[in-house]
Structure formats: C-alpha cells, structure tokens
Structure 1
C-alpha cells in the first residue's frame, strides 16, 4: 500500500481545491470508485496468471501477446516517469524550507539512493517501507488530531461538520468531475504495483488479489479522512497555494514546528518510500519483457544480480531514465504523461477482462455477468471519460510513445506475423 503514499493529498490538495471549488473529499471519493472497478480486474487476473509483469501479462493472455506488449509499453510510460515526478515533488517541497536549494540536484540524489536500495533486494525494500509507512501513519493521525481540536474544540475553520466539502450542487458538472478526477489520479497510481511482485510472494493466486483490493480501500479511506479534515480546518479555497496548501494548513492547525515536520516527512515518504516501490515495479516489468525477448536490449534487461537475485540492469536503466527526465523535463509535463499512461493502461485492462473471462472462457452466469462484464465495463467507461479530458499536448506525446511501442513490436515480430514471445508463469 505504501506505493500509494498515505500522505498523497499533500501533492495536489491546493490545485484540486481550486479546480473543485473546495470539494476535495468528493473528488477522492470519485477517484476511489473509479479505481475500485479497475482493482477488481487486477484481482481477477491475478488468480489465473500469478506472474510478474502485471498489465503486460494480463492483457497478453487476455487478448493476445501483441496487445499485451503495447499495454506493457503504455505502463512503462507511467512507471518510468513516476519516480522522477515523485523526486521533483520532494525537491519542490524542501525548497520551501531552503529556498536556495537546487531542486533537480536533490531529485537526482533521491533517485540514486532508491536505486541502490532496490538492487539490494525485496527484503531490504520491505524493511524500509515498513518504517516509512509507520512514520506516515503517525504523521497522518497527528494531523487529524490537530484538525479535530482546531475545528471542533477551538471552533475555527467551519467550526464543525459540514457537507460543503462533499456537495455543492451549484458547482458540480461533468467537466468538473473529469478535470478534478484526472488531477488526483496520481495518488491512486500504485495499487497495481502489488501485482508486479507476484513472483516473490507465497500463494500469489490468493494473496495478490486480496492485497490489491485492501490496499486500494485502505488508502482511499485515508485520503478521504485527511482531505475532509483539511477542508473543515481551512474554510475557502481561493487563497490556497497550489503547491504548499496542505503544509500551510498544517502550520495553521499545528504551528511552525509541525509545518516543518510535515515537509520533512513528506519529502522522505515521497522521495524514498513511493519512489522505492514504483522503481521496483517498473524494473520487474522491464525484466519480464526482457525475459520474453520483446524489447531491444532484452539480454541486458533480463540479467539477475548473482547475490541479491534482483533485476539489476533493469533497475539501473530505470535510474538513468529518471535522471535524464529530471534534468531535462518540467514537472507538469511529467505529471500529464504519468496520468495518461495510467488511464490508458487501466482502460485496456478492463477491456481485457471482458474479452477473456466473459467471451473467451465464457464464465458467465449471475456472478460472471457482474464481475466479468458489468464491473469491468464500468471501469472502462469511467477511465475513458477521464481520458477524454486530457489536453492536446498530453495526447500528442502519449500517442507518440504508443506509436514507438507499436513500431518496436512490429519489428520484433516481423510485421506481427510471429508471436515473438511466450509469457511464462514462474
């Protein structure tokens, strides 16, 4: 669950507040519903195909290997870029304490540290995650405690419960829903990362699906609670700083020391904890695709460290790409591409669920209709609705990435006449 940082609202609270007229909790509720149907598709596929590779494996088996490769390629645009984005966020926040600090240099340092930890292996990764997760949870509940005192005891902010953070009928419309939902999607990206660790856990057919649903539900609840309390504590949204809104609210309810503490905790959590997991996920996707000889440099990517048994070259490549992105691309461009990759990949996954389980395997009946047709179709439709809200620049860059993947697939399979690989359940 730590792949989706429990403190993720700190990343976008100010921007989402302004776009949603202060209804941030409503936006997170909508996002949770959107992701729930996609999580069901992940859970269903994980039972049949417990293999590292995630979307790449599921779509490859569900539709065909060529579409599976393109789905994995789309996923790469998400997970290769996400570590750079997380580290840039960390640098931005830390510059609030040290204005003269070089944001990009700090981001590069974070990327290199996480790469070294991931090379050491999943056990070290788990220990670091557990510690940082506990720190985030403690910080979250301290924030909620301060907010409760501020609102319900001191009578400040809204001075009590209010429905406004969830419902303002004069402002709700379809454009608002699509725009705001796309902005908070980044906070939910990561629950699917659990499926990429399938080859490293016991009994993945049972564990991975349940873990995916639990991670999404728990994290969504944390997002809702803290965003609602923040909304109650600060009445109004027009004066919020888009980048530092949650930190400013932390200062308002807990003072200067709490403000500084929350910046430091978020920097470590996002720059280390989230980046660790996303980097781990993408390295295993690269390894899986290299193992199946579907991308240039497959021999290089499928190399395993002799001592730590981790995909060392895939991790190194991920670090190199992140460093290049940090030094050459602005944060908003990276953010747009991460969201495009996530939504597009989720659309394909939901479509694959319908095609494979409902039509190919003919697993129908009452339960089959809901879980193999209706629910994934709803997931596909909601993702398509959010996808339609991307701007022209995002679509151009996103499709350019997709076309490059199609060209690679065309070359590797001699015009798609050969399968080119066999997905192996290890």
Structure 2
C-alpha cells in the first residue's frame, strides 16, 4: 500500500476498505439490474440486438478498466481520471479530464434520483416526484456522512437484494422460455443479419455503456483502500467482469421474451416500461411490479449512495489541489469523510433533480450528458497510460502500456462518434467552458500546479 505523503498530501481519509468492499462498491455503482431501466431504449436503438450492444460496451470498458488499473498502481490517490491525467501527463490536462468527468459524476446522482423518484411517484402518486427526491437525497447524505464503513455495509445488503430480484426474473424468464413464450430466435439478441450495421450497434453501445459507468468510481476510494494498490485495479476489472455477465444474461432473456418487438423498435420506449412489460408477459403483473420497484430502489438509494460518495471524493481531490474552491477539501474529523463536498453533491442533486423533473425529457437529457463526459475523460486516461509508462518510464510492457490503451482509445472514439448529436454539442460546450476556466487561471497567474511540482 503506497502512502499519499510521497505525493505531497496528508492521509486524512480512513483506510478501511478491502478488495471485497471495493468490488461490491463498483457493482452497486454499476447496478446489477441497471438494464431494467434502459432496456427499451437499448432494444430500440440496437434493433433488438441488446446482448450484442452490451458485449461491445464491455469491450470498450474492459480496455478502459485495464488503463485504470495501471494508473491506480502508479498514483494510488483519490481523484480518479483527474489524478491520473494530471500526474501522468500534466496538471492542466488533469484539470480538463477532471472537468470532463465532472459532467458524469456531478450529473449521475441527479439522474439516478430523478429516475427513481419518477418510478416511485408512479406507484405512490400521492407523494410527488420532488418529495421522493428530497427523501432519497436526505437518506443517502446521512449514510455517507456517517463514514465510508457505513456506506460499505449498506452496499453489501443492497447487492444481495438486487441479485435476489435478478435471480427471480431469470428463473421465471427461463420457465417462460421453456413453455415456448420466446418471441424470436435464440441468437437474435446477439446477431440479426437483416438489421446489423456497425452504426446501429455502436449507437446502441453508446447507450448501453451507461450501465457500465461506475467501475471507475472505485478509483476515487484509493485513499480509503487498506490493501496494496494493485488490489484496487483488480477490483475494478473484477467488478466489470461480473457486471458484464449479469447484463448480457438478463438482456438476452428479456430480448427473447419482449412482446411487440416491431413496435418497440419503431416507436422506442418513451415511457421506460419495456422491461417491466416483458416481466409481466413472462410471469405476471407481480413480476412487473417487483422489477420496477427494485429498479427504483437500486437507482435511487443504492446506486446514488455510492455515486454521491465517489463524486464527493473527486471534488475533494480537485479542491485539495486548489483547482476547485478550497472549502470542498474539508474533512470531518470524526467520520473522516469530505463533509463539505458530500453536502455540495447533495445540494446540486436536489436542485438539478427537481428542475429536470419539470422538463419533458429530463431523464434523457441527463443520461446523454453523463455518457459524453465519461467517454471524453476515458480518452485522456488512455493517453496518460502511454505518456507515463511508455514515454517517461520507458516501459517495455507494450501490451499494457501501448497496445491495450490504443485499442481502448479507438473503440471509445467510435462510440463517441455514434453518440446522440445533442449530447455531443452540449458536451462540447461544457469542455469549451472548461478551457476558458483554465485560460482564466493562467491569466490570473494561478495555473494548475500539483503539490510535488511546487518548488
């Protein structure tokens, strides 16, 4: 286990997490039943080839996970890709990477709260969406404030609950298939010759990849990892692999059973109910209600809980380096968590979530922006691996430090090009603002400087 003191910092956060804690944290962040909520959108965009979309998403994220693992060994600190790009390439590049990933991290909790609150309001309409938002935000903020160990204990419980619901769906779905309820051929979710084009599949993968975002959140807990830094990287790869298996299996079964396939492909899933309709077709209304409520709780409590924790650590790391307001770097002396950053994330999530709940397509707008920020930051991560290891360290491990990151970079570029055009425009504007902020820092004589650079 490397010490943060060698990089110019004090050890302020509590080192209490092991390999299992980190892997479970990553799984909860990705949500084992994440495809429940976006199944219809991926189905429509992929023309029914949902399993293939998730497999391509896995390829994109697998190479990214390998790059994360390499940089986590070199720089075992909080901050995720902000730290890796800043120390692997240069501090200004780190700022841009951090700025890009902020679009993902800061918006993710708002997106999760909005999806869950909308779902819960549909079941309990007497409580409006905004009230559910307040409930979820307050609950998660209290848990995160009580310390990372409390968060870890809650995530274990939630993981078991989500896996139990998934197991029930797979068993009932398997029985339905055995009874002859399949609506298409067994291999159609993987490959449909009449519909296959690379643009279709890559566009679907750009949506499906939303389910994989979260494994990278493990890297923000580097300063709370009590084991060797290599275990941090391994936990990311392990969490990604387990999640991928779960995603492919559940979407394969659901795609085989989905009723009204042609209508879903043509008209899409504006109501977000395609998976729950499929569950009802497979096992009855009780299964539809069970999967819908499980999705609401998983997104609104479990996933947003760890998303808030990860986002607060990113804000903490950037503020510690004076690239964000200094008050965000304050650590609670008792619970040893970045308290102001935690409260800031809660406030942003609450205000933005309530605002987006008033918009016609608030969920879709947030989802597209989240993906763009993450993909751009991951591109800089791959470059950082090559610069740090191959150029600076003169590494001869060409697979890990050249071939893998280059492949990962190329795959991500293909995914970004096929993303929603609106997301590309808004994401581009966000990056332009970041560049202006960076330029302003230079003009004011406050260029980004990491602690070890100070003379």
Task: Give me the TM-score of the superposition, normalised by structure 1.
Answer: 0.93
Cα distance in 2 for partners of 1:67, 1:176 equals: 33
Q: Secondary structure at the match of 2:33?
A: coil
**Of 139, 152, 157, which aligns to 2:182?**
157
| C-alpha deviation, 1:392, in angstroms | 4.0
Task: Show the counterpart of 2:6.
Answer: none
Task: Show the counterpart of 2:376.
Answer: 344
Cα distance in 1 for partners of 2:220, 2:313 equals: 7
Give runs of aligned pairs for residues 80-95 of structure 1, distance below 5 A.
80-95=106-121
Report the more deviating stretch, 214-223 or 226-235.
Answer: 226-235
Q: Tell me if structure 2 keeps the 8 A contact 1:353–1:372.
A: yes
Cα distance in 1 for partners of 2:89, 2:395 equals: 15
Q: How many residues align?
A: 417
Task: Show the counterpart of 1:258.
Answer: 287
Q: Does the C-alpha gap of structure 1 residues 138 and 66 become closer, same or farther in structure 2, counting only changes over 3 Å? A: same
| C-alpha deviation, 1:101, in angstroms | 4.6
Give runs of aligned pairs for residues 217-256 of structure 1, distance below 5 A.
217-234=241-258, 237-240=261-264, 241-242=269-270, 243-256=272-285
Task: Show the counterpart of 1:401.
Answer: 430
Task: Show the counterpart of 1:411.
Answer: 440
Task: Show the counterpart of 2:394.
Answer: 362
Indicate whether 1:322 and 2:349 are aligned.
Answer: yes
| C-alpha deviation, 1:294, in angstroms | 1.2
Task: Show the counterpart of 1:167.
Answer: 191
Cα distance in 2 for partners of 1:141, 1:52 equals: 35
Q: Tell me if structure 2 keeps the 8 A contact 1:194–1:208.
A: yes
Q: Secondary structure at the match of 2:109?
A: helix
Q: Does the C-alpha gap of structure 1 residues 158 and 317 become closer, same or farther in structure 2, counting only changes over 3 Å? A: same
Cα distance in 2 for partners of 1:415, 1:301 equals: 21
Superposed CA deviations along residues 193-212 of structure 1, whole A, max 9, x for unmatched, are 00100111112412101000
Cα distance in 1 for partners of 2:75, 2:67 equals: 12
**Of 326, 334, 339, which aligns to 1:307?**
334
**Of 146, 161, 180, which aligns to 1:120?**
146
Q: Does the C-alpha gap of structure 1 residues 227 and 423 become closer, same or farther in structure 2, counting only changes over 3 Å? A: farther
Report the more deviating stretch, 335-344 or 255-264.
Answer: 255-264
| C-alpha deviation, 1:102, in angstroms | 2.3
Q: Tell me if structure 2 keeps the 8 A contact 1:179–1:389.
A: yes
Q: Tell me if structure 2 keeps the 8 A contact 1:157–1:235.
A: no
Q: Does the C-alpha gap of structure 1 residues 306 and 233 become closer, same or farther in structure 2, counting only changes over 3 Å? A: same
**Of 267, 284, 287, which aligns to 2:296?**
267
| C-alpha deviation, 1:93, in angstroms | 2.3
Q: Tell me if structure 1 keeps the 8 A contact 2:105–2:307.
A: yes
| C-alpha deviation, 1:105, in angstroms | 3.0
Cα distance in 2 for partners of 1:215, 1:125 equals: 17
Indicate whether 1:331 and 2:368 are aligned.
Answer: no
Cα distance in 1 for partners of 2:389, 2:399 equals: 11
Give runs of aligned pairs for residues 105-116 of structure 1, distance below 5 A.
105-116=131-142
Q: Tell me if structure 1 keeps the 8 A contact 2:36–2:291.
A: no
Q: Tell me if structure 1 keeps the 8 A contact 2:37–2:295.
A: no
Give runs of aligned pairs for residues 17-36 of structure 1, distance below 5 A.
17-36=43-62
| C-alpha deviation, 1:158, in angstroms | 4.5
Q: Give unpaired runs (5+ residues) of structure 1.
A: none
Superposed CA deviations along residues 375-412 of structure 1, whole A, max 9, x for unmatched, are 10111111111111234432332122222222333333
Task: Show the counterpart of 1:144.
Answer: 170
Indicate whether 1:384 and 2:380 are aligned.
Answer: no
Provide the aligned C-alpha RMSD in A.
1.9
**Of 36, 61, 64, which aligns to 1:10?**
36
Task: Give me the TM-score of the superposition, normalised by structure 2.
Answer: 0.87
Q: Tell me if structure 2 keeps the 8 A contact 1:50–1:204.
A: no
